[in-house]
Amino acid sequence: MTIEPHGGTLINRMATGARRDSLLSTGKKGTVIQVTDRTVSDIYMIAIGGFSPLEGFINRKDYEAVVETMHLSSGLVFSIPITLGVEESVYRNVKEGEVCPLVDQQGITHAFLTVQDKFERDIRNEARKVYRTEDEAHPGVKKVYEAGKFCLGGPIEYVNSSPQLEFPEHTLLPAETRAEFDRHGWKSVVAFQTRNPIHRAHEYITKCALEVTDGLLIHPLVGETKGDDIPADVRMKCYRVLLDGYYPRKRVMLSVLPAAMRYAGPREAIFHAVMRKNYGCTHFIVGRDHAGVGSYYGTFDAQKIFAEIDVKAFGIEPLMFDNAFWCTVTGSMATEKTSPSSPEQRIMLSGTKVREMLKNSQVPPPEFSRPEVAKILIGWATSA
């Protein structure tokens, strides 16, 4: 593999054997911290190295650096602060150096946190800088406000021996994707982030990217998303049928990303690239309105933000694509760079349009989706 993990080392915070037994027997004496489903996802991503170089939840110094500069205090690019928000009573009572179990709402202990730092954050400043809005209607901002201003920082050790993975057969850890890329002999791998079914525009840009790389990792996010997003199990059926019929099997892999969506637009595009670098990818597709929601971000803001960092030092290469559309003149997918058509001769595609059609029980046309994908989607929409 030709690319190092972010920061140079693939983090592993999985406690095993005697260490896990010790934590489970003695760590329960610490203050119990109840965590949300989103935090459970963050804990797992930290533990498997997906958020490398993080070994736990960030401290004040790193928090302030990430929010203000999109870098950790070490100078390493990092665009989303991974924080652990707690109730004020917990914040006041917990001691630095204390080992605290992180427990979900079902009572399952996922990890233990060694508290190294306690700090209060300015949640509105975080919203402005990271999400570019203070509007609570923004799903990411809403989560920040709900988590509150009291934060604990420190390394974690993961102890849950049977995490509830939604698609275990398609959940490869960063170390495992790296091993698979090596097994295939891929020196360059492009990652495609998606939280939607793959429509024709997605198919077009992924195949363009595959022309200049050895392999393609279709890496759908299956953690927490908005309530109106198409469910992950439906999306997975669409990915499988599309890969079976329309992609070269020896050059494409499907694996899920068990991370939560933040809908942070430009900042999240960089964060998604960090994760894919940790999974071993050398290139990352940044499309139109990446990780966007509503009208909070400009169409190509997620591409423009990469000009604000040192991409060469960052390591993973972003691949920027223009709006892809169905060109009625050529009868094929194209962009303004390749199409002779005028605007009225173009059928513009988007995940939003597909969702709107499904709400109205309309079958997406062939210009939008492959027929096998459209069949799955309309079957879900009409039975929901």
Report yes or no: 255 and 219 within 8 Å, Cβ to Cβ. Answer: yes
Token pair listed for 17: 């054997």
* Distance separating alpha carbons of residues 175 and 208, to the nearest angstrom: 27
| List of long-range contacts for 323-331, beta carbons under 8 Å, 24+ apart | 323/201, 323/288, 323/299, 323/348, 324/200, 324/201, 324/204, 324/205, 324/349, 325/201, 325/349, 326/200, 326/367, 326/368
Angle at Cα 86 formed by Cα 82 and Cα 92, nearest 5°? 125
Q: Give phi and psi for 200, each to the nearest 5.
A: -65, -35
pLDDT at residue 354 in the model: 81
pLDDT in tens, 304-321: 999 999 999 999 999 999
Q: What is the mean pLDDT of residues 139-161?
A: 97
Catalytic residue (choose from 160, 196, 278, 323): 196
Q: Which residues contact 102 (CB under 8 A, 6 or more apart)?
A: 33, 35, 39, 43, 84, 109, 110, 111, 112, 113, 156
Let me know if 276 is a catalytic residue: no
Catalytic residue (choose from 132, 195, 200, 288): 195
* Distance separating alpha carbons of residues 19 and 13, to the nearest angstrom: 11
What structural domains and CATH numbers belong to the chain? 17-158 (3.10.400.10), 168-383 (3.40.50.620)
pLDDT at residue 220 in the model: 95
User: Quick one: CA dihedral 253, 3, 67, 42, positive or negative?
Assistant: positive
pLDDT in tens, 203-232: 999 999 999 999 999 999 998 887 778 899
pLDDT in tens, 333-351: 999 999 999 999 999 877 7
pLDDT at residue 126 in the model: 98
pLDDT at residue 164 in the model: 84
Let me know if 195 is a catalytic residue: yes
Can the peptide bond before residue 53 be classed as cis, meaning omega within 30 degrees of 0?
Answer: yes
Nearest to 333 by CA among 238, 195, 205: 205
